[in-house]
Structure 1
Amino acid sequence: MPFDAATAHTLHTDHGPLHYYRAGTSGPAVVLLHGAMLDTAPLTWGRTLAALRDTCRLFAPDLPRHGGSRPWHGPTDQEGLEAVLATLLDHWELPRATVVGLSLGGAIAAGFAARHPERVDRLVLIAPGGMEGRRVAQGTTYLLLRAPLLLRLTTALFARAPRLLRATLAASLVDGARNPDFAEITALAEAEARATHAAGELILDDWQIHSYGWRRMRTDLRPLLPGITAPTLVVRGDKDTLVSLATVQEVAQRIPRAELVQVAEAGHLLPRDRPDEFHALLRGFLQKGHAHT
């Protein structure tokens, strides 16, 4: 599917460029935040921008050091990325918006909604990151993340070995290479792998590296969740191997008025695995908010 549903723009800041896509001219303002590693706004949200542009005003940024948002010289930890979201909302002249985040984007969205409740109308968290005290192989992962040579070799490998990247992407999608968007997703991920390597960046985000401590996760947003006041939808694909059902259940329990939905036959990249089901959920959730205004 060609990515022609949106217009591309760039905001130049003191820390570097923030590249983003816009679609739609009427309806509620919805900000879409993608995930980590080789993700970009077109990769996660290409279908969403096309599907919802007739009923929403959509804003989908490339997060710092992704897509067109490089080179970036500002902080990229949790607080730094929340500050980026605030900067973009101000640039878009949006006092309030619905914020939708996948994985890393979900962590940014949740933290921002807790610390700036006056700016978030509604919140959608898709398999959000930053919601655990410990992860499997915590100490081993911590050590691996502090092996810069290994991380650089891995980055170079993905940039120079498209077959490996395609195999990894196929394994991450429920329908594998049979996904109707597989060629598009692969092309976007390959381009991002090459751009990451060319920029001297690592395949893992700083947020991911900094989030791991030796015994416990340094980024654990769970204590903030009760402070979220926006109506919240928590979503997970039932085949997600990165974020467990127990994790999203706890997230939904800690956030007042949160609703939890699991989508059948979907993995971590839910908006691409099951786009029709996801868009129906999102439309229904937004309509609830419109009915109450």
Structure 2
Amino acid sequence: MSVDLHYTDSGPADAPPLVLAGSLGATLDMWEPQAQALSAVLRVIRIDLRGHGGSPVPEGPYSMADLGGDVVRLLDRLGIERAHFAGLSIGGMVGQWLALHAPERLDRLALLATSPYMGPARNWRDRAELVRREGADAVADSVVERWFTPDFAKGHAAEVTALRDRIAATAPEGYAGCCGAIENWDVREELDRISVPTLVVSGADDPATPPSGHGALIAERVPGARLTVLDEAAHLLSWEQSARVNTLLTAHFTAGDRASAGMRVRRSVLGDAHVDRAEARKTPFTEPFQDLITRYAWGEIWTRPGLDRRTRSCMVLTALVAHGHWAELAMHVRAALRNGLTRDEIGEVFLQAAVYCGVPAANKAFAVAQEVFAEHD
């Protein structure tokens, strides 16, 4: 019987929903490095699997159908017909189950550091017995050792310790019950039935699910799947290589509709009033250009998580001053304010531009900004 999962919900309510499911022994906090970046363009729903975090802990063992059924139940509770899904480790197994048994509920799928088969079964039975007997603390050290490369663990000791403590705090029956789901998991011969667009991401240094035989096997057998192997990444690659993972996930989950993603970002940065005016002025002659800008500038570039919007605003202001695009500058001074830059910070950008773009250009920029500030006042 399915249970009501604990979850968090962030990002635009009208954006495509994305469900994030994590590793055995992890809570939804595992996705902290992704939450803000992905929420810029997606409605991000992070979940605790049953037996983990704030979710119920029914008596185990569980099956993958139980874990997948919990996700379907959550989508029903939230009134979501279809969603993107990204899962890491056991979360990725849940994603495979959904793609095989509830494909009508998925749009696009990302499978991170996961496998279609994690035998031998005896290992999972032994681990479940140990955790039921001694608690998850008994396995926490060995688990977190596989999560990170030695260099990362050494340089991020506090983060690794905090994640290790979350593993140790997992309810013994919840952890052991999920071990039961992995014990009986084998869909190697079913992968060719997955039909949703699928991204597979593996860590080159992952001892738990190394690319060969795990990620590579999924990518080989799932029609059209794409495999990316990240260097200097172990099992919890979403944490260790968060910037690269954020870029991969954003590109994958917005690939189906760049125009809609671009329009959401455009409205967020420029404001509804400006975009509504621009849309009202659109003609058959200008429509192709407006579509190009929405898809490319806003949907391809502004959606990328590699730079935050404050930084992008600073760069845009400088470029516009350098080329003397004064009408565009006024629009992007307003956008910079919306993106969180203060008036003093905008002034600093223009002082920098005075050195590298010329004093007359900066003088004009200050005048344009002053007019925008007066409008605001």
TM range (shorter): 0.7 to 0.9
Candidates 138, 153, 158, aligned match of 1:177: 153
- Structure 2 gaps of 5+ residues are 261-377
Q: Which has a greater percent of helix? A: 2
Matched, 1:88 2:74: yes
The structure whose residues are more often strand, as a share, is 1
What's the TM-score, normalizing by structure 2? Answer: 0.61
Higher relative contact order (CA 8 A, sep 6+): 1
2:187 aligned with 1:226, yes or no? no
Is 1:263 matched with 2:230? Answer: yes
Aligned residues: 257
Structure 1 48/222 Cα, relative in aligned 2: closer, same or farther at 3 Å? Answer: same
Instruction: Tell me what 1:205 maps to.
Output: 176
- Give the 3-state SS of the residue equivalent to 1:245 in structure 2: coil
Matched to 2:153, the amino acid is A
Whichever residue aligns with residue 266 of structure 1, its letter is: A
CA offset at residue 103 of structure 1?
Answer: 0.7
C-alpha distance in 1 between matches for 2:2 and 2:102: 22
Distance in 2 (alpha carbons) for counterparts of 1:273 and 1:249: 20
- Partners of 2:178 and 2:48 lie apart in 1 by 15
Helix, strand or coil at the partner of 2:153 = helix
Alpha carbons of structure 1 residues 185 and 51: separation in structure 2 relative to 1, 3 Å: farther
Which residue does 1:155 correspond to in 2? 135
- Matched residues in 1 for 2:124 and 2:136: separation? 21
Distance 1:15 1:177, change over 3 A: same
Partners of 2:177 and 2:43 in 1: how far apart? 30
TM-score by length of 1: 0.77
Distance between the aligned counterparts of 1:27 and 1:220, measured in 2? 34
Q: Is the 8 A contact 1:145 1:209 kept in 2?
A: no
Q: Report the 3-state secondary structure (helix = DSSP H, G, I; strand = E; otherwise coil) of the residue aligned with 1:18.
A: coil
Decide whether aligned partners of structure 1 residues 292 and 244 sit closer, same or farther in structure 2, where only a CA change above 3 A counts.
farther
What is the distance in 2 between the residues matched to 1:155 and 1:28?
38
C-alpha separation between the residues in 2 aligned to 1:228 and 1:109?
A: 10
- 1:239 maps to amino acid: D
- Counterparts of 1:211 and 1:170 in 2: how far apart (Å)? 20
What percentage of residue pairs aligned between the two structures are identical? 30
User: RMSD over aligned Cα, in angstroms?
Assistant: 2.7
- Larger-gyration structure (1/2): 2
In the alignment, structure 1 segments of 5+ residues that lack a partner are 1-13, 159-163, 213-217
Structure 1 residues 141 and 285, CA, compared in 2 at 3 Å: closer, same or farther? same
For residue 64 of structure 1, report the CA deviation from its aligned partner: 0.5
Deviation of 1:84 (Å): 0.4
